Amino acid sequence: MSRAYNFSAGPATLPEAVLRQAQAELLDWRGVGASIVELSHRGPEFMQVAAEAEADLRTLMSIPDDYAVLFLQGGATVQQALIALNFAAPGQRADYIVTGHWGKTALKQVLPYVAANVAANGEAGGFRDIPARASWQLSDDAAYVHYTANETIHGVEFRSASGGDIPEVGDVPLIADFSSSIVSEPLDVSRFGVIYGGAQKNLGPVGVSVVIARRELLERAGQPRAEIFNYAAHVRGESMLNTPPTWNWYLAGLVFKWMLAEGGVTEFARRNARKSKLLYDVIDGSGGFYRNEVAVAVRSRMNVPFFLRDEALDKPFLAEAKEAGLISLKGHRALGGMRASIYNAMPEEGVQALAAFMRDFQQRHG
């Protein structure tokens, strides 16, 4: 069977080598006579899987020892609510930088728990750019500053060309949603208080999230909450305070091993730069047949939204792309148009195929 090139934003394409290994191990994991998804999460077999996954992620991201790593149920949206409960006192102010749909979502999750200050908001400009750092109205007494490193829907990413990949916010802990750009390039983890993200884009399958937190922050009292919502309790329980999503955790571990074997984040940074440039070159060189409305300095490497000059061509474009083995290119309902998500697992050959199709489609319909 020939696999399509899947440009879905999430759940997203997984490395074929990982899927084949999971397929081979599905009925019998390493000769134990059962699937890993059937074994106790507290048994030695899965404990080995969990330990290897954490060790490999620490290696991939160069995570310092003074940071805890958690593998938790639920998506990034769940973590957005838990962040306020764990790191802000009742009624304490927290600063939010809103640069797209998911920044707005993060803000919405914390409104019941903190006095949220929107320090910067790109909505007036249609989320096509990141507000200049000099315009941010940060609080002196904020519990933390939160931002979304890459906006999956709007295609806006904090890049060095926009004044720094990592915002400078002084001594206030910086918390970031890295759901769609984690492990896509080297990252100085020590600059952050917390990094979190859903796995279903660059790390693995839907159903598990990763939280990387500076241990000293976990000592904050936060707000009254059930034990299951307490990050410190999850650290003590090694991410097994309750039964974890073992299959998802296992698959994420396989993705980490695949990435390490492929050369790690430095190699994927090179690949991702080439892939995104290839698509933006087609868009920018189309004479307006295709357009991307994001400011060039903050264009995402992971998610490339674009529009056709004539909306009447949207359906033919999607139908012909599917026929060519290029699927999941329809843009998010919040924005419309098209979107190509080109995470680590999308091979360069897939992006080359999409670029060639886009040029051909323009020649036939332009």
Q: Point out the residues that are catalytic.
A: 102, 177, 201
Query: What is the Rg, in whole angstroms, of the alpha carbon atoms belonging to the chain?
Result: 21
One-letter identity of residue 228: I
> Is residue 216 exposed (0-12), middle (13-18) or buried (19+ Cβ within 10 Å)?
exposed
Identify the three-state secondary structure at position 124.
Answer: helix
User: Tokens in use for 111?
Assistant: 């409104």
CB count, 10 Å around CB of 140? Answer: 7
C-alpha 223/C-alpha 354 separation (Å) is 48
Any idea what the Cα angle at residue 61 is, between residues 271 and 231, rounded to 5°? 135
The answer to whether the CB of 162 falls within 8 A of the CB of 299 is: no
The answer to whether the CB of 127 falls within 8 A of the CB of 334 is: no
User: Tokens in use for 124?
Assistant: 């007036």
Across-strand partners of 146? 96, 175
The answer to whether the CB of 152 falls within 8 A of the CB of 201 is: yes
C-alpha 190/C-alpha 197 separation (Å) is 17
User: Tokens in use for 12?
Assistant: 């997203």
